[in-house]
């Protein structure tokens, strides 16, 4: 798994059925990557709902959150609409898990992303990373602490 100080690999994935998204589009912003195992699972649903509620806090730190799993763009669309999510879910679908593998968080045995968080600074360097047990919602405290330390560093 990539660690603090590593350069965050750029990538391009589908954010909607007909639109791709690249993290290079967010250059100059802090980025939160939330890798998760699967749309519709109870823990993932709770985790994404929490991040949806935290959007105003993330934006105070000039941070954009992106959810990433190996589910298809169509699954993401239905999941996002059913949960009224206001941030992109990116489909690491084909080649399956390619971005999860780049970040070192692909679970070969299960064929899905591990539950992992990355905070990437405005220069594209990983400022914080965390691998969570699959059955546990990692919450947002670690993300907020990492964003707070980025803000302190830049003052």
Which residue ranges make up each domain of the chain? 29-153
Q: Which two tokens stand for residue 124?
A: 């594209």
pLDDT tens figures, 44-59: 999 999 999 999 999 9
Relative to beta strand 89-91, strand 106-107 is unpaired
CA angle 139, 149, 65 (to 5 degrees): 45
- pLDDT tier at 154 (50, 70, 90 boundaries)? low
Torsion of CA 46, 21, 75, 53, to 10 degrees: 20
- pLDDT at 92 exceeding the cut of 90: yes
CATH topology of domain 29-153: Glutaredoxin (3.40.30)
What pLDDT is stored for residue 7 in this prediction? 97
- Which listed residue (13, 44, 54, 70) is catalytic? 44
Q: Is 73 a catalytic residue?
A: no
Mean residue pLDDT across the chain: 96
Distances (CA, A) of 52 to 19, 21, 47, 58, 65: 21, 19, 9, 10, 9
Q: How many CA atoms lie within 13 A of 37 on its CB side?
A: 22
pLDDT tens figures, 26-79: 989 999 999 999 999 999 999 999 999 999 999 999 999 999 999 999 999 999
- pLDDT tier at 117 (50, 70, 90 boundaries)? very high
């Amino acid at each position: 798994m990539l660690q603090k100080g590593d350069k965050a690999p750029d990538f391009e994935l589908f954010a909607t059925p007909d639109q791709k998204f690249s993290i290079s589009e967010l250059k100059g912003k802090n980025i939160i990557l939330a890798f998760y195992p699967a749309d519709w699972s109870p823990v993932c649903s709770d985790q994404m709902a929490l991040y949806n509620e935290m959007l105003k806090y993330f934006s105070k730190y000039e941070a954009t959150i992106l959810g990433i799993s190996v589910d298809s763009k169509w699954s993401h669309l239905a999941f996002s609409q059913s949960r009224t999510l206001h941030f992109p879910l990116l489909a690491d679908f084909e080649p399956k898990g390619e971005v999860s593998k780049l970040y070192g968080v692909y679970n070969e045995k299960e064929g899905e992303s591990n539950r992992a968080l990355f905070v990437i600074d405005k220069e594209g360097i990983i400022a914080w990373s965390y691998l969570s047990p699959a059955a546990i919602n990692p919450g947002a405290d670690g993300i907020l602490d990492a964003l707070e330390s980025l803000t302190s560093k830049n003052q």
